[in-house]
Copies of this chain bind each other. A is one copy, B any other.
Amino acid sequence: MKNAPFAFALLFVSMVSMAQQNTLKQYISSDKNQHRWLNEYTKLLEIPNVFGDSANMVKNAHFLLDVMKRNGIKSQLLLSGKPRSAPVVYGEIIVPGATTTIAFYAHYDGQPVNPKHWAEGLAPFTPVLMSDRHDKGGKIIPFPGDKDPINSQWRLYGRGSADDKAGVYAIITAYEAIVAAGMKPTVNIKFFFEGEEEAGSVYLDEIFKKNKDLLKADLWVICDGPRHISGKKQVVFGVRGDANLDLTVYGAKRPLHSGNYGNWAPNPAMRLAQLLAGMKDKTGAVTIDGFYDDVIPLTETEKQALARIPDVETMLKQDLALAQPDGNGKSMMELLNLPTLNINGMQSGNVGSMASNVIPTEATAVLDLRLVLGNDVDRQINKVINHIKKEGYHVVDHIPADEERLKFPLIARVAKRGTGYNAQRTPMDLPLAQRVIKAVAGTANGEVITVPSLGGSLPLYLFEKYLQSKPITVPIVNYDNNQHAENENVVLQYLWEGIETMAAVMTMK
Contacts and interface: CB of A to CB of B under 8 A. Distances in A.
Interface of A: 111-114, 135, 225-226, 239-240, 242, 244, 246, 251-267, 269-270, 272-274, 276-280, 282, 284, 317-318, 320-327, 332, 335-336, 338, 340, 342-360, 363-366, 368, 370, 402, 405-409, 417, 454-457, 479-480, 482-486
B321 A368 contact: no
Contacts of A356: 111-113, 344-345, 484-485
Given A263-B327, A455-B259, A366 B351 contact: yes
A112 B407 contact: no
Contact of A323 (B256, B364, B406, B484): B406
A343 B112 contact: no
Interface centre among A135, A225, A455, A486 (most CB of B within 10 A): A455
B360 A344 contact: yes
B263 A326 contact: yes
B344 A347 contact: no
Closest 9 CB pairs of A and B: A259-B456, A255-B485, A277-B277, A324-B409, A345-B349, A263-B335, A269-B343, A321-B405, A262-B340
A274 B240 CA distance: 27
Nearest to A225: B260
Given A269-B346, A354-B114, A340 B258 contact: yes
B273 A343 contact: yes
Pick the most buried of A279, A353, A406: most chain B CB atoms within 10 A of its CB: A406
Given A343-B348, A359-B342, A326 B265 contact: yes
Residue of A282, A366, A457, A482 ringed by the most chain B CB atoms within 10 A: A366
A89 to B, nearest CB: 23
Nearest to A326: B266
Given A264-B335, A351-B346, A406 B317 contact: yes
Nearest to A110: B356
Given A244-B357, A253-B320, A263-B284, A272 B269 contact: no
Contacts of A457: 259
A504 B445 CA distance: 93
B484 A358 contact: yes
B263 A321 contact: no
B323 A370 contact: no
A280 to B, nearest CB: 6
Contact of A368 (B262, B342, B484): B262
Nearest to A456: B259
B273 A282 contact: no
Given A270-B280, A346-B363, A355-B112, A260 B406 contact: no
A203 to B, nearest CB: 19
A74 B341 CA distance: 66
Nearest to A342: B258
Contacts of A355: 112, 244, 344-345, 366, 417
A254 B357 contact: no
23 contacts: A114-B354, A135-B254, A251-B322, A253-B321, A254-B482, A266-B322, A266-B324, A266-B325, A267-B342, A269-B276, A269-B343, A272-B273, A272-B346, A321-B406, A323-B408, A343-B360, A344-B360, A345-B354, A346-B346, A347-B350, A347-B351, A350-B366, A355-B417
Contacts of A135: 253-254
A456 B242 contact: no
Most chain-B CB neighbours within 10 Å: which of A114, A258, A417, A457?
A258
A352 to B, nearest CB: 8
